[in-house]
Amino acid sequence: MHGMADIARPQPRQGRGMAVAGLGIACLLLLLLLLLVWLMPAVPGEPGQAETLHSILLWHSLMPRAALALLAGAALGLSGALLQHVLRNPIADASTLGIAAGAQLALTVALGMAPALLLLPREIIAFGGGVLSLAVVLALSWRRQLDPVTVALSGMIVTMIASALSIAIILARGEYVMSIFIWGSGSLSQQDWSGVLSLVPRLIVGAIATALLMRPLRVLSLDDAAARSLGVSIHATRFAVLALAVWLAASVTAIVGVIGFLGLAAPAIARYCGARTTTEITTGAAIIGAGLLFAADSLMQLLGPGFSDLAPAGAATALFGGPLLLLLLPRLRSTLNLQVASVSAIRRLSRPVVGLAVLFAGVTAVFLGALAVGASDDGLTFSLGASFADLLPFRLPRIVAAGGAGAMLAVAGLIMQRITGNPLASPEVLGVSAGGGAGLTVVLFLVGFPTPPVMLGAMAIGAVVTFLLMMALTARSGFSSERVLLAGVAAGALAMSIMTLVLAQGDMRSYILLLWLSGSTNNAGPLHAGIALGALVVLVAPLAFCGRWLTILPLGTAVARGLGLQVARARLMLAVLAALLTAAGSFIVGPLSLTGLVAPHLARMMGFQKPGHQLLAAILLGAGVLMGADWLSRLVIYPYQIPLGLFAALISGPYLLWLLSRKSGSST
Amino acid sequence: MLALPCAARAAAGPTVATLDWALLETLLAMNANVVAGAELRQFIDVAVEPTVPAGVTDLGLRGIPNFEALYHARPDLIFNSNFYLANEARLSRIAPVETHSIYLPGESPFAHSIQATRAIGERLDLPSGVKMIERLESQLGSQTRILAGGDGRPVLPINLGDARHYRVFGSDSMFGEVLARLGLTNAWTGATAYTAMAPMGIETLATMPDAWIILIPPHPADALDALGRSAFWNALPPVRDGRVLTLGAVNPYGALPAAGRFANLLTEGLARAWNG
């Protein structure tokens, strides 16, 4: 068990210290509120009316907003503390468990596709989505006794799938995006007390329920057997606490949107400040959550021009999430010695070359099929002759771009799995493709409308920096599975929060970013096809000389060194290659496709064991999978099209979930 | 109404297609032989007029247009705008492409709409283009006379994002230009980013106490209900004094048909409000 679950023991001196610190913080917050009131811009117009409106703004906008920030922060802090306690997982919160993303998806669906659903209160819809996400996450990690790493990973994947669906819906609705952007990024702006009034009773009920559950909660921090012997119904208590936590988080999401990672930060800071007992941690988390959100929101107002928000508070707090997760890593010990299930070969191929030939034939068939068969108003159409020649310029570039991107992502995933010795490593899971997205975001801010080569360069820098940073951070632990995966989740979260800041602007830049996130190949022309093929050849060719590295590195640093390998140099070179492949691949299909994870697995499952064979097979499979997905994505809702990246994520996501839910098999 | 008079006559001439909604409504209104347009399902909700004849091929999302569907629709001529310039190379493989941009940063969309309408009319040999311009000018003229007898208050056309945020349109937007041509003052004098500014917090409405608030749908289903319950909204002078108008849906990024529709709905609404 980890630090958080230390046996409860009251520590009066620390309690007094906390009280003093609390008082200091309260004074600071009060100061901030006074500053807000003092700096509030004056209303123009005739004096009498201006004064009335000013007081309306003060009492119906600024004050409820401050109160709501405190309440929402407290609710999220409490929710995070409860989740962390009951799951015995210091990185659990509404963001990492997919609750926020699930709630957001449910509301997006209601807003965009089924307005009739909006007759229900928003909280109910959000709660439904949140519960559903959490249920999936818990079901996946159930057989591993809710192991923290498995829970965090499942949460990340559920978040990814939910976001992919949300983006698909937003794109499909065009004009309605404005409200979804604002809502998704957690804007606290208010013009009456209704948000506050609806949150107050919830928070009170939550506090009372927490107090009532305090005894069973305390007992829960012992292990299950001890708890059971004390007569606590473990499952009932756990479910009650979980439901309470989700309800609190979903209520906040329904009222103000996603406030990223606050539930993660508040309890962590409470513990850092010396809170030890369950009571201390839950109260501390609620108070600190309130203070944090209020401070963040006030700063955004004060820093923005003329009191218009610099950024939505929810997007701002999300920026803390990534670094905080990284800080928490050393404190996290997996309850299981994680051996992530790696797929095992169905049977070992006796003649892999023949297997490769068969695979090549299959991929060629997909390629030709995608070239020749398309939809029209009359249904599926097989094009030959003149119409084939006419359609070729539209189909060939996108098929080549998709295939090249798939191959590159597959190779990137394979390298990552080999150098970390971790079967779940891949550009998407390790946050490397999201890191590329962060690079793209930065260049969108600097340049405005960058050309494709500039975009590609920025993404390459973002991906390389992200991956090297992660390798550096996890090298000390000898690339232990948990550390690598969690650092990946953290890196991905940080990159996503940077992108959220731009998406929240709702301008042309956010549209470019949204299109990239969705990974559409529709606009791929000869340039994209050329980039895909060129980068594939240039970046994969060096691997012909790296076969030995790829064989030896998964065996671990000690063995590799014993065999005379310059481990650090080999890792560095391969890491840079993998990051560049990721950048080029996700330039075309976006960061969500999961091809980098799936293709190497399929290759292994088919029985390609040697690095060389697995590499070639992964290239073929990656290309084949994305070409096939691209083909389907233009057929299923013709004439409308699902962007390839989203489509691939929606196919591959469930596979990854299934992989996680299996009992550990053989490792890589 | 501006768009309707010649809708009954069967379209003839070269077949045309476009990805741009402003050009689409222009083509439909001048009764060109339109065979394909983008995102028609949404267009019908947002632009409402002119009606899209049955048989016009839907090309899918504007951002992700389906080139194969366009190919099957076999247009003789494709009209494109600066928004979809990235697609130009692929479009020109299907048919010759002519570009008419209406929304350019810092330039007048109204003037560009007139230019585009005239040019497209000449290109397709349709006199309805020039007629459309003349009809709109005389329509705006008579509406200006009606509105001159009003209360002289500024007007604030907005789109609601949700119950707490809105989008406002500046003097460089189509709505802003129509207001100017109708002799009305736009209440929003602040900066815009590319004709509009969003998201604006609803509390900023307090800075425009004299205005008529003009709500332009479509907006999210629950936004209006939530506004009605809001203390702040109800305390705003325009709301308190009944100076809020909800029009029918108008495409904020349209061309002359949208301008005419907006002028019609606004004049009708304001005149009814003034006369009780």
Tokens of A446: 């600097």
Question: pLDDT under 50 in chain A at which residues?
Answer: 1-12, 175-180, 182-183, 334-341, 664-668
Residues of B in contact with A639 (CB under 8 A): 57-60, 66, 68-69
Q: Nearest by CB to A61, which of B57, B218, B232?
A: B232
Calpha distance A437→A513 (Å, rounded): 8
Contact A171 B161 (CB under 8 A): no
CA B261 centroid distance within chain: 8
* Phi–psi pair at A641, nearest 5 degrees: -130, 140
Tokens of A592: 């969500």
Model pLDDT, residue A664: 44
> Are the beta carbons of A362 and A624 closer than 8 angstroms?
yes
> Which chain A residue has its CA at the smallest distance from B159's CA?
A178
Name the CA radius of gyration of chain B, rounded. 19
Calpha distance A506→A180 (Å, rounded): 10
Tokens of B125: 């040999």
Average pLDDT, chain B: 85
How close, in Å, is residue A393 to chain B by CA atoms? 8
Place of tokens 């962590």: A268
Model pLDDT, residue A366: 93
> Are the beta carbons of B102 and B113 closer than 8 angstroms?
yes
How close, in Å, is residue A376 to chain B by CA atoms? 6
Place of tokens 């790696």: A342
How close, in Å, is residue B67 to chain A by CA atoms? 7
Place of tokens 């959100």: A293
Which among A148, A140, A83, A484 has a CA at the least distance from the CA of A333? A148
Chain B from 198 to 237: CB within 8 A of any A CB? 198-204, 206-207, 209-210, 218, 220-223, 226, 229-233, 235-237
Which of B164, B168, B205 has the most A C-beta neighbours within 10 Å, making it the best mutation to test the interface with A?
B164
Percent of chain B with pLDDT over 70: 92
Pairs across A and B, CB distance < 8 A: 159
Contact A182 B63 (CB under 8 A): no
Superfamily designation of domain A405-659 = ABC transporter involved in vitamin B12 uptake, BtuC (1.10.3470.10)
Tokens of A495: 């990159």
Q: Nearest by CB to A377, which of B72, B86, B202?
A: B72
Model pLDDT, residue A229: 65
> Per CATH, which fold does B136-274 belong to?
Rossmann fold (3.40.50)
How close, in Å, is residue B96 to chain A by CA atoms? 14
CA distances from B147 to A502, B199, B248 (A): 42, 30, 19
CA distances from A659 to A150, A417, B136 (A): 11, 15, 64
- Bridging pattern class, strands B33-37 and B57-58: parallel
Burial A411-424 (b: 16+ CB within 10 A, else e): bbbbbbbbbbbbbb
Calpha distance A290→A205 (Å, rounded): 17
Model pLDDT, residue A2: 42
Contact B235 A56 (CB under 8 A): yes
Residue A572 CB contacts under 8 Å (≥ 6 apart), including other chains = A468, A471
H or E element: which one contains A382?
A: strand A379-382
Domain ranges for chain A, please list them: 25-33+54-328, 405-659
Contact B67 A522 (CB under 8 A): yes
Could you please report the per-residue DSSP string of A168-216? HHHHHHGGGHHHHHHHHTT----SSSHHHHHHHHHHHHHHHHHHHTHHH
Which among A78, A49, A156 has a CA at the least distance from the CA of A434? A156
Contact A639 B194 (CB under 8 A): no
Which neighbouring-strand residues pair with B159? B167
Q: Nearest by CB to B86, which of A44, A376, A523?
A: A523
Residues of B in contact with A634 (CB under 8 A): 66, 68
Contact B164 A377 (CB under 8 A): no
In chain A, what is the greatest distance between 2 CA atoms, to the nearest angstrom?
90
Residues of B in contact with A109 (CB under 8 A): none
How close, in Å, is residue B149 to chain A by CA atoms? 24
Residues of A in contact with B159 (CB under 8 A): 178
Tokens of A23: 């008082």
Contact B66 A60 (CB under 8 A): no
Domain ranges for chain B, please list them: 136-274
Which among A651, A521, A537, A519 has a CA at the least distance from the CA of A598? A651
Contact A376 B72 (CB under 8 A): yes
Count of beta carbons in the 10 Å neighbourhood of residue A281 = 25
Calpha distance A421→A429 (Å, rounded): 14
Beta strands in A204-342 (DSSP E): none
Residues of A in contact with B207 (CB under 8 A): 43-45, 53
Which among A18, A238, A250 has a CA at the least distance from the CA of A129? A250
Q: Classify residue A455 by burial, with Cβ atoms within 10 Å: 0-12, 13-18, 19+.
A: buried
pTM: 0.80
> Are the beta carbons of A339 and A482 closer than 8 angstroms?
no
Tokens of A113: 């596709």
Which among A454, A592, A441, A435 has a CA at the least distance from the CA of A502? A441
* 3-state class (DSSP) for residue A471: helix
pLDDT tens digits along B6-43? 444 456 789 999 999 999 999 999 999 999 999 888 88
Model pLDDT, residue B265: 94
> Which chain A residue has its CA at the smallest distance from B201's CA?
A189
> Are the beta carbons of A532 and A401 closer than 8 angstroms?
yes
Calpha distance A486→B163 (Å, rounded): 38
Contact B69 A60 (CB under 8 A): no
Which among A465, A483, A486 has a CA at the least distance from the CA of A474? A483
Which amino acid type is present at position A409? Answer: L
Residues of B in contact with A506 (CB under 8 A): 198-199
Which amino acid type is present at position B177? Answer: E
Residues of B in contact with A43 (CB under 8 A): 206-207
Return the axis-axis angle of helices A526-540 and A385-420, rounded to nearest 10°. Answer: 40
Q: Do domains A25-33+54-328 and A405-659 have the same CATH topology?
A: yes
Residues of A in contact with B63 (CB under 8 A): 171, 174, 511, 515, 520
Q: Nearest by CB to B58, which of A111, A193, A639?
A: A639
Q: Does domain A25-33+54-328 have CATH number 1.10.3470.10?
A: yes
CA distances from B198 to A182, B165, B204 (A): 10, 8, 12
Tokens of A604: 């292994």
Calpha distance A652→A654 (Å, rounded): 6
> Are the beta carbons of B17 and B37 closer than 8 angstroms?
yes
Calpha distance A395→A384 (Å, rounded): 13
Contact A641 B206 (CB under 8 A): no
pLDDT tens digits along A14-41? 556 667 777 887 888 888 888 888 877 7
Q: Nearest by CB to B71, which of A194, A391, A520?
A: A391
Calpha distance A61→A66 (Å, rounded): 9
What number is the ipTM of this complex?
0.76
DSSP state of A11: -
Count of beta carbons in the 10 Å neighbourhood of residue A559 = 13
Burial B14-50 (b: 16+ CB within 10 A, else e): ebbbbbbbbbbbbbbbbbbbbbbbbbbebbeebbbbb
Model pLDDT, residue A6: 41
Q: Is the model's pLDDT at B188 over the cut of 50?
A: yes
pLDDT tens digits along B101-141? 888 877 889 999 999 999 999 999 889 989 999 999 999 99
Q: Is the model's pLDDT at B264 over the cut of 90?
A: yes
> Which chain B residue has its CA at the smallest distance from A121's CA?
B222
Calpha distance A401→A527 (Å, rounded): 9
Calpha distance B147→B145 (Å, rounded): 5
